[in-house]
Structure 1
Amino acid sequence: MPDAQVSSSSLAAEIDRAAAAVESQVIAWRRDLHANPELGNREFRTAGLVAAHLESLGFDAVRAGVAHTGVVGLLKGALPGPVVALRADMDALPVTEEVDVPFASKVRATWNGDEVGVMHACGHDCHVAILLGVATVLAGLRSTLRGSVKFIFQPAEEMPPEGEQGGAELMIAEGALENPVPRAIFGLHVTSRLALGTIGYRPGPTMASSDKLKISVHGKQTHGAAPWLGVDPIVTAAQVVLGLQTVISRGTDIAREPAVVTIGMIRGGVRENIIPDSVEMRGTIRAFDEEMRDEIHERVTTLAEAVSRGSRAGCTVCINKNYPVTINDPALTEAMAPTLARVAGAGRLELIPKVTGAEDFSFFQRLIPGLFYFVGVTPPEVDPKDAYSNHSPRFFADERALVLGVRSLAHIACDWLEANA
């Protein structure tokens, strides 16, 4: 980043006028996408809509089918300059919608073998509509745009189906950050934790890493009336769950960084009077430091195996690393915070606490400096503390927030381009 603070680009007034003009179209896109959600690696209709619009804007290159359904488009400005990337995720969740809006999802699909409802319960419909709006705004300013903007529409942020690859990691492997290589990347996420009109950001570690935990306790099946004739994996599993609570509370320096170990599923047994052969537990591990992340993995494994061994049971622990820590580049964040403050307006930019949710935007940030920030979507009459969270079947996004998303991404891209030309 340059030593001088980034200032408003020469396109600032034009961006705001163009964003206001495209607002109704952005809302229409969002409603269409919300009514027609698609699960990870299955975003065929969404990707088709995106690619068709980028091509209609005369983008210099539009590449579809990246990481199954991803779309990458390049918009070259008329003036020389560097390359910046903007990213939006496209996939919905296996959630049955409970929001009473005219464009509520009625879609059903199959996810990992189960029939499920499908809903944009995390707001990715908003992200796609916002980035389509940014593409429209910047394409209209191409004659005075300095440098190039790479638009990345990514599938499967919420994880691909079991047995498949996908998301940001696969997009990178298939060249999304190549030809040309961006020098910075920006992305946003709508959230019900912030009020309408508010932008939230944080330098450094911002969102947690995410890892899948699977523990299988192997016992010896017997009659429930004679437990001494077998090895009880249910009691052993209960002891493991209780022991895992000490991994964070007694074994992790949470004054340094927060961390979480959660068991969210226990499955075992088929009848009240049969002690089963095995019990399976599944959970998640969250951390904000890669070294701490590895230490937690080691402690979870050691504890589960030792507790099981003490009960004469076997134990298999499998931990799959999903997403790294989302780390906002400190210099980039400091440089662009004035842009976010200007776009949000007086008192509407907030320094937020760490978020224990995870984001595969983190894979992009491992390769180039990145900034990931949040846009509030909770209407003024609702306290964000009382709003239904992202991933809830009742998650609601106030569409008046969409134009702020368009303005913030367009301003941040142009400010960065002119400052780094």
Structure 2
Amino acid sequence: MPMPLRPGLLYLALLSAMTVTTTQAADLSWVDPAVASVNQEVIDLRHTIHQNPELGNMEVKTAALVADRLKALGLEVRTQVGKTGVVGVLKGGLPGPVVALRADMDALPVKELNDLPYASKATGVRLGKTVPVMHACGHDTHTAMLLGAARVLAEHRDQVAGTVVFLFQPAEEGAADVDDSQTDTLIGAQAMIRDGALDSPKVEAVFGVHVMAGYPTGHLYYKAGTVLNSSDQFRITVDGQQTHGSAPWSGVDPIVASGAIIGALQTLVSRRADLSQGMAVVSVGTINGGSASNIIAQTVELTGTIRSNSPAIRDTILKKMPPLVQGIASAYETRADLQVTNHTPVTVNNPILTEAMVPALELAAPGKVERLPASLSPSEDFSYYAQKVPGLFVFLGATPADQDMASAPNNHSPYFTADDATLATGVKAHVQFVLNYPGRANSKS
């Protein structure tokens, strides 16, 4: 029995047989001047947002700024979507499909070390603890670029076929009010979807742009199919019996058991996963246990992350990990409690949509568009949108071309920076996604 197509895929399947819309793009002469006219405003917005960062689910001021800007453009605006998210709806002057553009608004608990006039000195509260806050992954640029695109499209709505949904999302990096191991609370993209961000109006396709350090300013990068890893977090608590270090036989040592578990976790990749399907890593990030050098601890806690670019490999690791951990713990006469938190699935760009939008990318960055040879290692909750409707997630270089790409501080570094000169390309990419989504060109008279 054939599998039913997801929403939007029927249209894309029909599109795959139509070469005209995949090889030609609507090159509208007003786009470049319009983007140039909002460029300084976008830069100023970026600086304001960067200087006033807010953690996930705490983006109150950022969301208010976004909502005010969208309302001033005459868009329909919904607030408190996914807690602090904002959805704006622009109805074009011509009939056509509904597509969504997404930007994330949240910052990270990182202390900024850049010497910039708009550097962050902000703090926030994460799980009851005061922490420094910085836009160390470029979400300030994403928000500013999408606001710029909203203005360009709103001011030329008579040229827009169909409807554009602007998704300004909270908590892509996690929520400041939700523990990472908490599994019963939806945040970020999942919370936006739960609150109907893709349903009113019904979205047919979704697009996103992410700035990347170490790639030259103004260049766009894309890949069909798998483009980013999945992300899962685990916590293992190993319980033994505390005793004096001089007499280990009188207790049960959870430290030695934990060491065996750490080593065995690597076999989930090397001996259990079918690596012909992709890659994976299992990394232990923290080990905590004990209070003195001559006391064998009662309890050891391990935390770590699982990443993969293959849904099948991810499933294998998640299935095989519990019996492996429990078996080793039992062999060492300890007890182990394993908690796995599923953060994001593999991010997959719809292949038909991706190839159809290459001409739009070329219009946004002429001569500076490159196909990635392999998927990238980070993870993104854009993946949840792309599970619901066909999606395309692309990357925008953010390091000046005259700098050494290999030495550029990467995303999440306290020294991370994004070149203001790249923002215009991001704005243009969003606009060209809308204007060149398959079917729009044929709907124009």
Task: Give me the TM-score of the superposition, normalised by structure 2.
Answer: 0.92
Alpha-carbon spacing, 1:419–1:255, altered in 2? closer, same or farther (3 Å): farther
The answer for the alignment partner of 1:98 in structure 2 is 113
The answer for the alignment partner of 2:95 in structure 1 is 80
2:271 aligns with one of 225, 241, 250: 250
1:155 aligns with one of 170, 190, 197: 170
The answer for the alignment partner of 1:46 in structure 2 is 62
CA drift of 1:241 comes to: 0.7
Contact 1:341 1:349 (C-alpha < 8 Å) held by counterparts = no
Unpaired runs of at least 5, structure 1: none
Q: Secondary structure at the match of 2:416?
A: coil
The answer for the alignment partner of 2:53 in structure 1 is 37
Aligned ranges 1:8-407 → 2 under 5 Å: 8-9=25-26, 12-59=28-75, 61-160=76-175, 161-162=178-179, 164-407=185-428
Alpha-carbon spacing, 1:53–1:93, altered in 2? closer, same or farther (3 Å): same
Percent of residue pairs identical: 45
The answer for the alignment partner of 1:415 in structure 2 is 436
Q: Distance in 2 between matches of 1:384 and 1:250?
A: 35
Q: Which amino acid aligns with 1:142?
A: R
Q: Secondary structure at the match of 1:54?
A: helix
Q: Distance in 2 between matches of 1:111 and 1:287?
A: 28
Q: Distance in 1 between matches of 2:159 and 2:395?
A: 28
Q: Distance in 1 between matches of 2:275 and 2:251?
A: 40
Q: Which amino acid aligns with 1:218?
A: D
Q: Distance in 2 between matches of 1:184 and 1:28?
A: 30
Q: Secondary structure at the match of 1:279?
A: strand
Deviates more, 1:38-47 or 1:172-181: 172-181
- Superimposed CA distance per residue, residues 28-53 of structure 1 (whole angstroms, 9 cap, x where no aligned partner): 00000000000000000000000000
Deviates more, 1:16-25 or 1:244-253: 244-253
Q: Distance in 2 between matches of 1:76 and 1:182?
A: 13
Unpaired runs of at least 5, structure 2: 1-11
Q: Distance in 2 between matches of 1:34 and 1:347?
A: 27
Q: Which amino acid aligns with 2:418?
A: A
Contact 1:89 1:153 (C-alpha < 8 Å) held by counterparts = yes
Q: Which amino acid aligns with 1:264?
A: G
CA drift of 1:193 comes to: 3.2
CA drift of 1:300 comes to: 2.0
Contact 2:218 2:368 (C-alpha < 8 Å) held by counterparts = no
Q: Distance in 1 between matches of 2:304 and 2:379?
A: 14
Contact 2:409 2:416 (C-alpha < 8 Å) held by counterparts = yes
Q: Distance in 2 between matches of 1:174 and 1:347?
A: 37
Deviates more, 1:121-130 or 1:187-196: 187-196
Q: Which amino acid aligns with 1:158?
A: E
Q: Which amino acid aligns with 1:368?
A: V
Q: Secondary structure at the match of 2:148?
A: helix
CA drift of 1:224 comes to: 1.2
Q: Secondary structure at the match of 1:261?
A: strand
Q: Which amino acid aligns with 1:418?
A: R
Q: Which amino acid aligns with 1:106?
A: K
Contact 1:231 1:312 (C-alpha < 8 Å) held by counterparts = yes
Alpha-carbon spacing, 1:20–1:347, altered in 2? closer, same or farther (3 Å): closer
Task: Give me the TM-score of the superposition, normalised by structure 1.
Answer: 0.97
Q: Distance in 2 between matches of 1:419 and 1:289?
A: 35
CA drift of 1:295 comes to: 0.9
Q: Distance in 1 between matches of 2:401 and 2:234?
A: 39
Contact 2:275 2:313 (C-alpha < 8 Å) held by counterparts = no
Q: Which amino acid aligns with 2:410?
A: S
Q: CA RMSD for the aligned pairs?
A: 1.4
Contact 1:200 1:352 (C-alpha < 8 Å) held by counterparts = no
